[in-house]
Structure 1
Amino acid sequence: MPAAVGVLDSLLLLTLFGLYPSMTLGPREGWQVYSSAQDADGRCICTVVAPELNLCSRDAKSRQLRQLLEKVQNMSQSIEVLNLRTQRDFQYVMKMETQMKGLRNKFRQVEEDRRTLMSRYFQELKEKMDELKPLIPVLEQYKTDAKLISQFKEEIRNLSAVLTGIQEEIGAFDYEELQHRVLGLEGRLRDCMSKLTCGKLMKISGPITIKTSGTRFGAWMTDPQASSRRNRVWYMDSYTNNKIVREYKSMADFVSGAESRTYSLPFKWAGTNHVVYNGSLYYNKYQSNIIIKYSFETGRVLAERPLEYAGFHNVYPYTWGGFSDIDLMADELGLWAVYATNQNAGNIVIGQLDPDSLEILKTWNTEYSKRNAGESFMICGTLYITNSHLTGAKVYYSYSTKTSTYEYTDIPFHNQYFHISMLDYNARERVLYAWNNGHQVLFNVTLFHIIKTDDS
C-alpha cells in the first residue's frame, strides 16, 4: 500500500494502458488501475495503481481484527477461570501433602517394627486413606486443566502474531486520509482524461480466457455506453441459423453460467459481427444487407435499413467466411459499419452510422481487400485490420477516418486458440472482446495519447 501512495506523487509516463478492472487484470487482485493524471505543467502522467475505494474503509480488516481481539479476550477469561480453579485445587493438594508425609512416616514405622503393630494403627491408617481418597480426582482434574492452559497459551501466542501483522498493516496509515486522497485523485484523473485526444494503438497483450463455451464461432460483448455498475454481458452463439440472445447481469454471472434473460430476435442474424450500443443490439439480418436495431428494453425493432451496395451472404466476408460480410462496431466516436462493395472492387468501406436512424453519415473507401482481412476493429475513428484469423495473426493495416490515410503496421498478438471469428473493441473498458475457437477471451490494448493544451 505505501508503494501505491508513492505512485500518486511520481508518475511520468506518456502511454495509457487499457485494462479491464473487473477481472484479474490489474497488478493484484482487488486493485484498480486509473489511466492518467495531470502535472502542474499540463502534461499527462499515467497508470496510477491504487486500492479500490471499498478497500479504503476500515470495515473488512477492522472487523477481522475485532473478531480476533474478542476471541483472545474470551480465551483470557477462560484461562482466568482455570487458574482460579487450579489454584484452589493446588492449595488442597498442599494441605494433603503434609498428611501424606505423615502417613508415609507411619508406614515406615510399621515396616521397621511389625511386632508393635496394633489394631489402632490399622484403624488410623484406614481413616487417613479415606480422607485422602478425594485427592485422586483432584489430581486428575489438575493435570487436565494444566494441559488445557498450555494449549490456550500456545493459541494465544499464535493469535498475537496474527494480530501484530494486521496492526502493522492497517496501522501504518490513516485509511480516511488515504480514501480522501484517492477521491481527489479520481477527480484529477477525470479532468485529465477530458484533455486526452483519441489514442493510437501501440500494443495488444493477453489474451485472458474468460470462459470456454459454445461452438467454434460466435459473439459476446458488453455495452460501452452502459455504466460499470450495470455491466451486462450478451452472448450469441454461432454465425447463422440462430436468433437467441442470452443475457447475464455481470461478468461473474457469465463465467458461472447464471443466465438472467433470453431474447428471441424477430430475424436470424448473419455472421458474428454484432454490437450492443446504448441498450440496443445492432446486427446484420440473415441473407440480406439490412441492419437491424433491436431494443433489449422493449423487445422491439426500433429501426432497420439496408446498407447500400454492401455485399452479403459470403460475397465479401473476412478470410474465415461465416457470412461475416458486414461488421458492426462502436468506438469513442460512435457507431460504424465495415463492409465491401463492388463499386470499391471488394475493398473495405468504412461507414459511420447514425445510431437512431441507421443512416450512413459518411463513408471512406480503403484499398484493403475485405476477403484478405482476418478481422478488424475501430479505435478512435481508426480501423485496424488483422492479416489473418489463424496462428501468427497481427494488426497489419490501419486506416484513419480523421486524415483519410492508411499505414502498414506490425502489432502482433497471441492467437492462443488458433481461430478468431470475432474481434471488437470496447471503448469504456479499453479491451478487445474476442471469440477464439469456442473460447471467450479479452485482450488488453495500449494506446498512445496526445494531450490537448489550451493553446491547441
Structure 2
Amino acid sequence: MRALFVVLKPLCFLALLGYCPSATIRPKEGWQVYSSAQDADGRCICTVVAPEQNLCSRDARSRQLRQLLEKIQNMSQSIEVLNLRTQRDFQYVMKMESQMKGLRSKFRQIESNRRTLLTKNFQELKGKMNELQPLIPVLEQYKTDATLISQFKEEIRNLSLVLTAIQEEIGAYDYEELQQRVLGLEGRLRNCMNKLTCGKLMKITGPTTVKTSGTRFGAWMTDPQADPKNNKVWYMDSYTNNKIVREYKSVNDFVAGVESRTYNLPFHWAGTNHVVYNGSLYYNKYQSNIIVRYSFESGRVMTQRALESAGFHNVYPYTWGGFSDIDLMADELGLWAIYATNQNAGNIVISQLDPLTIQVLNSWNTEYSKRNAGESFMICGTLYITNSHLTGAKVYYSYSTKTSTYEYMDIPIHNQYFHMSMLDYNARDRALYGWNNGHQVLFNVTLFHIIKTDDES
C-alpha cells in the first residue's frame, strides 16, 4: 500500500526533473511533458516527463514479437521431430517396395508354371504377406505426418508475414534499443528518487480492513527497517494486563491466524502505542515512564530507560485514555517518543531517541494539549495530530521538527468503526496501521514531494 505521488500518475516509467527557475525543460526526442508543479511564486519545482504512449505500445509489440519468435522456434522443433519420424517411415516404405518387387516376381513365376507349383511356394508367399501386413498402418501414418508438416509450413509462413508487419511498424526501435531506453529511464528515476526530500501529508484514504480480532484496544505492526522480504506481523492485544506478543510470518498468516512464535515479555505494557524498529520492540513499561527495548532475536530486554518528566498512568493520555501517555513511533528519520510534561503545561513534547540507548537526542515543545489529541503519528520528522479518536476525526494540527513551526490542517480520516485506539505510520509501507474498535485496518497516505536540487542546501 505505497502512497502515490500527488497528482502524478504518468504511464510507463517516470523521470523527474529538478528546480528550474528560468530554463525550459527540453525532453529528449520521444518524450513529452506530462505534468508539473509550481510554488506560490510561480517557480517550477517539479516537472514530470514520460515517454510517448506509442513507445509503450512499441515495447508491447516487442514482447509480442518475442512470443511469436518463441512459437516459431517451438514449431521448428516439432517439424524436426516429424521429419525424423518420416525418415524412419521412409525406410519402412523402401523395405516394403523391395518386398513388393519380390512378390511380383513370385507371382510371375507361379503364373508361368502353375502345374509345377509346390506347397513350399505357397508357404513362402504367405510369409511375405504377413511381413507386409504391419507396414500398412505405417503408410497411413506417413501420409498423416506429411499433411501435418504441410500445415506447419503454412502456419510458419503466415506468422512470418505477421512478424514482418510488426517489424515494419516498430521501425528503428528494435527490442534491444527499447530495452536500453527502459534501462535509461530507470536510471534517471533512481537518481531522481535519491533527490526526494520527505513528503508532506496531503490526503488519507481508506481504511482497508485486514482482520477483525481481539478487544476494542490493541496494536499491530510490521518493522519498517526490515528487509523487503521480511513481512512479519506483531500483534499486542489490550492496553494493559498483558505481556504476550504474537508473531506471524506474513500478513496472510496473520489473517489466517497462523502464529509462528509468541514472546512473553518480562514486563506488562501500558497503552497501545508500541513500535517495532530494526528487530526490537519498544514499549512503555506499565505504571512508569520507562521505555523498554526488547530484542526479538535474543528474546530479552536490551535497554530500558526512563523518559524524564514524562507523564504516565493516565496523567496525559490521548482523549480515549487507556494509559496512552507515551506514544512510541518511527518514521523515515528514526525513532520518536510523543508525550507530555508538567513543564510544558501538559502540551505535547516530541523527542527523537537513539534506537540503541533510548537516550533523548533532541526535543521540541508544542502548544497542543496531549489530552485533546485523538491520536498522532510521525511522517518525515513532522508530527500529525488528529482532533478526536471518534467518528468525524481529522488531522487537525502538525508540527515540523525541521522548522520548529506548527500548522493547522483539515485532512479527514475515515473512522469506520467509530473508535481509534492506535494509529502509526510505517515508512516502508507508506501506510498508517490502525486498531479501530477491534478491527486491524490500513490507511493509504498521499504525500506531496518536492525535488531537492544540487544547488540547494
TM-score (norm 1): 0.64
Amino acid of the structure 1 residue aligned with 2:175: A
Q: In 1, distance between residues paired with 2:437 and 2:144?
A: 62
The residue identity in structure 1 corresponding to 2:12 is: A
Does residue 184 (structure 1) correspond to residue 187 (structure 2)? The answer is yes
Give the Å deviation of 1:267.
Answer: 0.9
Q: 1:445 to 1:214 in 2, by over 3 A?
A: same
Q: What are the superposed Cα offsets for residues 62-85 of structure 1, whole Å, 9 maximum, x if unpaired?
A: x99999788656533421222123
Partner of 2:25: none
In the other structure, the counterpart of 2:432 is 432
Given residue 354 of structure 1, which amino acid in structure 2 is its aligned partner?
L
Aligned-partner Cα distance in 2 for 1:387–1:218: 20
1:329 maps to: 329
Q: Does 1:366 align with 2:367?
A: yes
Query: Which of 128, 137, 140 is the equivalent residue of 1:140?
Result: 137
Aligned ranges 1:15-414 → 2 under 5 Å: 43-45=45-47, 72=75, 75-90=78-93, 131-144=128-141, 172-174=175-177, 177=180, 180-181=183-184, 184-185=187-188, 187-193=190-196, 196=197, 198-208=198-208, 217-224=217-224, 226=225, 228-229=227-228, 231=230, 233-239=232-238, 240-247=240-247, 262-296=262-296, 298=298, 299-306=300-307, 308-313=309-314, 316-340=316-340, 348-355=347-354, 356-359=357-360, 361-368=362-369, 370=371, 373=374, 375-389=375-389, 393-401=393-401, 402-409=403-410, 411-414=411-414
Paired residue type of 1:76: I
Report the Cα distance in structure 2 between the residues aligned to 1:214 and 1:174, rounded to whole angstroms. Answer: 55
What SS class does the counterpart of residue 272 from structure 1 fall into?
coil
* Equivalent position amino acid for 2:235 in 1: M
Does 1:4 pair with 2:12?
yes
Structure 2: distance between partners of 1:130 and 1:230: 73
Which residue in 1 is equivalent to 2:422? Answer: 422
C-alpha separation between the residues in 1 aligned to 2:420 and 2:140?
72
- Whole-angstrom distance in 2 between the partners of 1:304 and 1:378: 22
Residues 298-319 of structure 1 show CA distances to partners (whole Å, capped at 9, x for unaligned) of 5324132045252424x55445
Contact 1:287–1:312 (CA under 8 A) maintained in structure 2 = yes
The residue that corresponds to 2:20 in the other structure is none
| CA shift in 2, pair 1:285/1:455, >3 Å | closer
CA-to-partner distance for each residue in 1:219-267, whole Å, 9 max, x for gaps?
A: 233444x364574635032023332334566767767877665443221
Give, in angstroms, the shift of residue 352 of structure 1: 1.2
Q: Secondary structure at the match of 1:4?
A: coil
- The percentage of aligned residue pairs carrying the same residue is 47
Is the contact made by 2:203 and 2:447 (CA closer than 8 Å) also made in structure 1?
yes
The whole-number CA distance in structure 2 between the counterparts of 1:295 and 1:281 is 6
Q: Which moved more, 1:209-218 or 1:428-437?
A: 209-218
d(CA) in 2 for partners of 1:180 and 1:73?
33
Residues 318, 372 of structure 2: 8 Å contact kept: yes
Per the alignment, in what secondary structure is the counterpart of residue 173 of structure 1?
A: helix
Question: CA deviation digits over 1:301-358, x for unaligned, max 9?
Answer: 4132045252424x55445544333221223444333335677776x51321432344
Cα separation, partners in 2 of 1:185 and 1:450, compared to 1, 3 Å: closer
Q: Is the 8 A contact 1:96 1:132 kept in 2?
A: no
Give the match for residue 58 of structure 2: none
Distance 1:412 1:277, change over 3 A: same
**Alpha-carbon offset, residue 297 of structure 1:** 5.1
The structural deviation recorded for 1:135 is 3.7
Alpha carbon RMSD of aligned pairs, Å? 5.2
Shift of the 412–137 alpha-carbon distance from structure 1 to 2, 3 Å rule, reads farther
Amino acid at match of 1:376: S
SS of 2:272's partner is: coil
Superposed displacement of residue 150, structure 1: 6.8
CA distance in structure 1 between the partners assigned to 2:303 and 2:138 by the alignment: 83
Structure 1, unpaired ranges of 5+ = 16-40, 50-60, 103-116
Report how far residue 203 of structure 1 moved.
1.4
CA distance in 1: counterparts of 2:151 and 2:423, whole angstroms: 58
Matched-pair contact (CA < 8 Å) for 2:32–2:50: no
CA 1:5 to 1:190, structure 2 compared with 1: closer, same or farther past 3 Å? closer
Look up the SS of the partner of 1:324 in the other structure: coil
Gaps of at least 5 residues in structure 2 are 1-9, 17-30, 38-42, 52-63, 106-113
- CA offset at residue 273 of structure 1? 0.9
